[in-house]
Each structure stands twice: as C-alpha cells, then as structure tokens.
C-alpha cells in the first residue's frame, strides 16, 4: 500500500512540475507516444475515430458514422466549449481531416487515396502535438 501511495505521489509531482515527456498510450499491445498537453479523453476519442476509419479502409467499406459524427459535433462544432490546447486542436484537426476523407480512402467508384500517410501524420501529431503538413 505504501508503494502505491508513493507511486501516486510521484505521478502527481511529475504532472504538477510540467513534465514535457510524452505520455505512453496503449495501442492494442503497442505503446505509442502522446503529447503531454493532450487530455486523455481527447486521445481516446480521436483514437477511436482513427481506428474506425482504419478498419473501414481495411475492409474497403464505408463505416457506421454515428461515432464519427458525434466526434465532429463535440470537437468541431462545439469546440468553444472544449477549451482545446494548441496540441489538442492539432490532433482534433488531423482526426477530422481523416473523417472528411473517408470516401477518398474507400474505393467507391473513385480513385483510392492512400490512408497510410494520413495515419502516420495522425500518430506524429499525437506524439508532438503539432500539425503535420503535406
């Protein structure tokens, strides 16, 4: 119990001191880095949308849009209520951009856009908190 309390105290101290080390996020058994100034809720929501899009691309079918629409509503249309940091906004922007390109990733009577470069940019944005440009 004492070790647990010490670990908790050390964690709080690191956060309070403004540690700029990236957070570790579990990605189905893989650790990915997330910028320290991106809240866990936004990481989780953004990751969920990215994975929905990724799975849709894998099966080449348009995904159910309910969760994606809720994400857009919450973080784009109601962004004033979210008080996003610059790093959070960069991640939300990257995620939303991927959401708008769903039809381009899926081959529905069109030339297919490669999903992998956008996915790589998403992970870089998650880790750095900076918008990745083309």
pTM here is: 0.71
Helix (H, G, I), strand (E, B) or coil at 26: strand
Residues of the chain with pLDDT under 50: 1-19, 29
How many Cβ atoms are within 10 Å of 74's Cβ, its own excluded?
Answer: 16
**pLDDT tens sequence across 89-99:** 999 999 999 99
Q: Measured between alpha carbons, how far is 34 from 91 in angstroms, rounded to an integer? A: 10
Residue 90: per-residue pLDDT = 93
Residue 79: per-residue pLDDT = 78
Residue 28: per-residue pLDDT = 56
Residue 10: per-residue pLDDT = 44
């Amino acid at each position: 119990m004492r070790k647990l309390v010490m670990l908790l105290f050390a964690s709080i101290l690191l956060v309070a001191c403004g540690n700029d080390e990236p957070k570790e996020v579990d990605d189905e058994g893989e650790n990915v880095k997330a910028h320290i100034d991106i809240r866990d809720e936004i990481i989780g929501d953004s990751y969920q949308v990215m994975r929905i899009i990724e799975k849709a691309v894998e099966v080449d079918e348009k995904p159910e849009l309910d969760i994606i629409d809720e994400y857009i509503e919450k973080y784009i249309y109601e962004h004033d209520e979210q008080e996003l940091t610059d790093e959070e906004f960069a991640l939300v922007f990257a995620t939303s951009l991927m959401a708008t390109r769903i039809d381009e990733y899926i081959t529905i009577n069109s030339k297919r856009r490669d999903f992998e470069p956008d996915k790589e940019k998403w992970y870089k944005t998650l880790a750095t908190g900076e918008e990745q440009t083309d």
